[in-house]
Structure 1
Amino acid sequence: MNRRSKVLVAAIVVALAQIGFLSSAIYSRAALLRNGEEVTLRTVPVDPHDLLRGDYVALSYDISRIPVDRVRTSRPRDNDVVGAVYVRLKRGENHAPAQIVGVGLGAPLDEPLGANEIDLNGTSFDRWQTGLETLNIRYGLERFYVPEGEGRAIERRLGERSFTIRVAVGKEGDAQIKALYDGDVALYSEPLY
C-alpha cells in the first residue's frame, strides 16, 4: 500500500469515527426524549445570549435550592464538596410541578420508588458545613435555547405568569428538557433530532 492510500484510509477511519460519535450523541438524546418518564418543574427564567448558539433562557428551578433537612442519606464531612445528588420527586397530577420526596448525597435513596416517583440526578458544588441550610443543585437543565430575539419576551412575561419545563428523565436519572410552558401553553418543544 503506498503512502497516498494509507492517508486516504486514515482519513476515512477518522471521518467514520466522528460520524459515529455524533450519531451516538444524537441517538441517546432522542431516545431519552422519546422514552424517558416525564416530570414537570417550576422555573424562573432569565435571558442571556450565547454568541455561538443564540438566545437561551437560563433556568433555575424551585428544586435548585433544597433544604438540608430533606437529605435522607449520610452526609459528607465538614468542608467536603457535596458532589453527586439524587433528588427523589413525586410527579404532580395533570402536569402540576413535581415535589421533593427526599435527597440522597453520593448515592440514591435506598427505598424503592413509590407511585409517581422519579429520581433525578444533580450535582452540588457546595462545601458541606455544620449549620448549612440549603444545597444549590445543578441538573444539566439550566439552559433552554429559543429562537433569536424571543428570550427577552419570555423574561418580561415571567413576572406575570408561571413558567414550567417538562423534562424527560431516564432510568438512571439523567434528564433532557422536552418543552417550555407558559401556564398551559407550550412555547417551545424540543424536536427528537
Structure 2
Amino acid sequence: MARYKLVVAAIVLALAQIGFLGSMIVGRAAILRDGKEVLLKVEPVDPRDLLRGDYVRLGYDISRIEVEKIANLPQGELTSVEGPVVVRLKKDPDGYWRATSAWLGSAETPAPGDEVDILGHISNGWSLTPGSTVSVDYGIERFYVPEGEGLAIEEEMRKRNADAEPELRSFGIKVAVDSSGTGQIKALMDGDTMLFEEPLY
C-alpha cells in the first residue's frame, strides 16, 4: 500500500512539473505569435566578441533611459529604487523603435496605437539627477541559438561587412511585445535579412 501511494505521488508530481513547463512554453509562444512586433537597434555588449558559446549577449539603445524621459520621478529622491519600469516606444523613420517616455512602476496612460509599452526592470542606486541615465533590463538581453549556429551567424555578419571595418556592424532584434508589456525575442535581423528566427516551441 505504501508503495502504491509513493507511485501515485510521483506521478502527480511529474504531471505538475510537466504542466508548469508546458504553461511556460505556451505563454512564450502566445507572445511570439500574438504580440506586437517592434525592431530594436542592438548595441553589442562586446563588439569584438559578440557571440559567446551558443548565445548572443545584447544591449539595446533603449537599455539606457535618460532621466528626463521618466514622467513620474519621485520628489526628493536622488537614486532609483529597484522595481518595474515601463518604457514607451515609437517607430522612427529608419524602422527602429526608440524610447519616447518612461514611468517607474506603471504607465499613467495606455499606449496610443502607434506606440508600444515594454516592461523592464531597474535596479537600486541609479542616479535620478538631471542629465543622468538609468539602466533598464527587459529580459531579452540574451539570444540563444542552436548549438553550433553561433559561429555561422557571426561569420555571416562579418561577410556582409567585408568592405567596412572588420568589426560587426549594427543589426537589430525583432521583439514581440504582449499587452502586459512582456517582450520575447522573435528574430535576429541584419537590415531586411533575417539571420535567425526563434521557433514558437
TM value normalised by structure 2: 0.83
CA contact (8 A) 2:127 2:134 kept: no
> Any idea what SS the aligned residue of 1:121 has?
strand
Specify whether residues 96 and 118 from structure 1 end up closer, same or farther in structure 2 by C-alpha distance, changes over 3 A only: same
| Matched residue, 2:16 | 17
CA contact (8 A) 1:126 1:136 kept: no
- Which deviates more from structure 2 when the two are superposed, residues 156-165 or residues 64-73? 156-165
1:140-155 equivalences under 5 Å are 140-147=139-146, 148=148, 149-150=150-151, 152-153=154-155
**Aligned partners of 1:191, 1:122: CA distance in 2, in Å?**
23
CA contact (8 A) 2:127 2:133 kept: no
| Matched residue, 1:188 | 196
- Which deviates more from structure 2 when the two are superposed, residues 115-124 or residues 170-179? 115-124
| Matched residue, 1:127 | 125
- Give the letter for the 2:66 counterpart: P
CA contact (8 A) 2:85 2:121 kept: yes
Specify whether residues 102 and 80 from structure 1 end up closer, same or farther in structure 2 by C-alpha distance, changes over 3 A only: closer
- Give the letter for the 2:180 counterpart: E
**Aligned partners of 1:180, 1:75: CA distance in 2, in Å?**
37
| Matched residue, 2:103 | 104
Query: What displacement does 1:4 show?
Result: 1.3
CA contact (8 A) 1:84 1:121 kept: yes
**Aligned partners of 1:128, 1:136: CA distance in 2, in Å?**
8
| Matched residue, 2:171 | 163
**Aligned partners of 2:86, 2:169: CA distance in 1, in Å?**
29
CA contact (8 A) 1:82 1:105 kept: no
Do residues 63 (structure 1) and 65 (structure 2) align? no
> Any idea what SS the aligned residue of 1:81 has?
coil
Query: What displacement does 1:126 show?
Result: 4.4
**Which consecutive unaligned segments of at least 5 residues does structure 2 have?**
none
| Matched residue, 1:35 | 34
- Give the letter for the 1:183 counterpart: G
Q: Deviations over 1:13-34 (max 9, x none)?
A: 0111111011111100101100
Do residues 89 (structure 1) and 97 (structure 2) align? no
**Aligned partners of 2:100, 2:3: CA distance in 1, in Å?**
62
Query: What displacement does 1:101 show?
Result: 1.8
Query: What displacement does 1:3 show?
Result: 1.0
Specify whether residues 154 and 61 from structure 1 end up closer, same or farther in structure 2 by C-alpha distance, changes over 3 A only: farther
| Matched residue, 1:117 | 115
- Give the letter for the 2:88 counterpart: R
